[in-house]
Homo-oligomer: A and B are copies of this chain.
Amino acid sequence: MLEESADPSLTNGVNTDGLGQTVANVKANPELGFCKFRVRNEWVHGDENRSQTLDFYAAGSEQQHKKNFHFQAGEPGLLEGSDDGANPVEYLLSALSGCMTTTLAYYAALNGHVISKMESSYEGDLDLQGLFNLDPDVRPGYQNIRVHFKIQTDAPTEELEQYYRFSPVYDVISKSVPVEVVIETY
């Protein structure tokens, strides 16, 4: 799907010719859009466990990363952990942040808009009564998530507000948790 080009057209660091060709390929052959992503986890003890990415399926065949990526999860001392890794609910916010950011950069590029700087912050409310099974009316997961973007760009805010809705992780989380997103441009 990646189209090599001697002079790729880069917007926001994205090869828009290549990305546009990938979109066209999936449109012409929808089965090329089907992907499987995979992770394996090994528990160490208590709060500590390690996960890594594996080969994935995309563009009609099995694919390998240049190298697999490794993650260590932990819990802070307040939750009887040794705080040697981010906790899983922080990994969830990190996943959301990465996905919304990349989706904004890619969609802006495909629409000819330049983003020169983009930062964002994420905060999620969680009530341990849910995890500890103390109140059946309290869910274990996040109750609300707030997202704030600051983006230096020529793209109209109304367009940016459409782009992030196609983020796969935003789609998964926002269909389960109310996610309030504010985009500030300059």
Instruction: Show the binding face of A for B, using Cβ within 8 Å.
Output: 1-2, 10, 12-15, 18-19, 22-23, 26-27, 30, 32-49, 51, 53-54, 56, 58-59, 63, 65-66, 69, 71, 73, 75-80, 83-99, 101-103, 105-106, 115, 117-135, 139-142, 165-173, 175-177
Contacts and interface: CB of A to CB of B under 8 A. Distances in A.
Contacts of A127: 30, 33-35
Given A78-B59, A118-B43, A37 B90 contact: yes
How many monomers of this protein are in the complex? 2
Contacts of A69: 85-86, 90
B39 A80 contact: no
6 contacts: A1-B78, A27-B132, A56-B76, A69-B90, A91-B169, A141-B169
